[in-house]
Amino acid sequence: MAAGQLWLFDPPKPLVERFGAEFFSRLPTGPGVYFLCGESEGVLYVGKARNLRKRLGSYRVANPERMPRRIIRLLHQVRRIEWDECPSEDAAREREELLICVLAPKFNAAGKVWERKRTREASQRAARFEGR
């Protein structure tokens, strides 16, 4: 769609319709991890945020000009939003990685974390260190 295209109808707001506009203003402003949950599927998506209120507020309008179709599909399936506040951004990033590995949410395909392969040099250094 062309940027700035005129719409006959406003873009849908599935989360505002489900949770109300006040929900977003009551969210904490600190760093944390959030869970977008479905009706029967459990956790659909795990994300981290520097500011939970701003990040979750960015999902209020499902605008096809600014969001991929995958995210719009996700927003229409969300029935519950939960969050965990974290002491820092680094703690939120580590918690997100752990939760993605454990929960394997359906919409976190790009964020899957895999074990890193060792290079030959790193393996030799590790073997020397273990042999001491």
CATH number at residue 78: 3.40.1440.10
Position 120 confidence tier, pLDDT thresholds 50, 70, 90: low
Q: Is 2 part of any domain? A: no
- With b for 16 or more beta-carbon neighbours within 10 A and e for fewer, the 34-49 pattern comes to bbbbbeeeebbbbbbb
In a domain, 68, yes or no: yes
Give the 3-state secondary structure of residue 56: helix
Residue 9 lies in a domain: no
Instruction: State the Cα–Cα distance between residues 96 and 75, nearest whole angstrom.
Output: 19
66 confidence band (pLDDT: 50, 70, 90): confident
The number of folded domains in the chain is 1
The answer to whether the CB of 108 falls within 8 A of the CB of 100 is yes
Amino acid in position 1: M
Task: Compute the residue count for the chain.
Answer: 132
Asked whether residue 3 is domain-assigned, the answer is: no
**Is residue 53 within 8 Å of residue 60, measured between CB atoms?**
no
Residue 33 lies in a domain: yes
Q: How confident is the model over 103-117, as pLDDT tens digits?
A: 999 999 755 555 545
pLDDT range class, residue 52, cuts 50, 70, 90? very high
| Structural domain of 86 | 14-130
Residue 82 lies in a domain: yes
Q: pTM value?
A: 0.76
pLDDT higher than threshold 80 for residue 1:
no
Q: For residue 115, tell me if it sits in a domain.
A: yes
